[in-house]
Structure 1
Amino acid sequence: MRVSHPRIRPVVAALAAAATVVALSSIAASPASAVTARHVIPDSSPHWLSHAKHVATPAAASQVSFGILLNMRNAAQADAQVKALSDPSSPTYGKWLTNKQFDATYAPSGASVSAVKSWLTSQGFAISQTMPSGMYVTASGSTAQVEKTFGTSLEKYTYQGKTVQTNTTALSLPTTTPPPSSAS
């Protein structure tokens, strides 16, 4: 996920780098500390960071909230359907899906959502909320937990008149999780 604006929930807004975490559906919970090699999550560091001013380092025990964006199922089919819905020459032009129809075909499976939530909980995070579609899960934990679990450091910056807390490097997952590119 490209973080283009600092108003996104503090910290690890790039966790929504998404696609990634749906891959967690096939892992067994294991402590991040037992793993040294990691899968880097592409595009998970803020692109605006070089234009921001460092303000402070958060305390290890400070609490942070973040979101995880899961992959859609059938993403290529979803793209094709959106194009057809927008094409006046298509027989499905303007026949938009309801949320229920969209979720039934494109939202992550319940098993994937449960696996992501279970993995986050096994890493010590508290689940705050899950969108009805299951595509976005919010969680919270300490700065130290986020840094350890996602292999990054968190810092506070000012950017465009706002003070934000974010990851300073690309996020990564333990090798016990499938690589982000294998998420579907």
Structure 2
Amino acid sequence: MLRGTPGSATILAVRPRRGEPGHAFWVRVRVAGTPPYEARVRQWVAERDLEWMRPGDVVGCRVDPGDWERLMLYVPDFEEFEQAGRVGLGKILSDGRRAEATVLAVAPVAAEFGGHDDPLLRLDLELRAWDEPKPWRVRVVQQVPLAAITLIDRGGRLEAAFFTVDRGESVAIDWCASLGEE
């Protein structure tokens, strides 16, 4: 934690470890000056932190400079979240600006790893917001509720929330609104 290279990690999947304490995480790691990569992490996490470490959430990490596969995940304090411009999906949905997303492409991600009923998918989207001058493209990795599978065909329209125009780090799909459940 003290000597590791700081970075961020997007949670792709999480599950309790079988027969051992802790959880197994599959993450996409971003460290300044290097291309993103995916890794598996096994570590114990406090129950209060697990709510901030769900698929799609972005957390802090420290990477061993000698072995990029060795890393430690942690939930940054609120100030660190704000400085990094990264927050959890729930925060984006509750406080973010609204946009309409058009589905450009869909690909499965680690369907067998999470063991969830809802598949974890990579969505390439084009977003349009009333207060932005032009549309922009993003890539998000989120769990898609089974009830929403029919909405993610190419050209499908989804309701989304975002904080800033970026590549998808501050974007969350509002599945309830997309399904008309609000």
Superposition TM-score tier, normalisation by shorter sequence = under 0.3
Q: Higher Cα Rg: structure 1 or 2?
A: 1
Which structure has greater helix proportion? 1
Question: What's the TM-score, normalizing by structure 1?
Answer: 0.24
TM-score by length of 2: 0.24
**Higher RCO (CA < 8 A, seq sep 6+):** 1
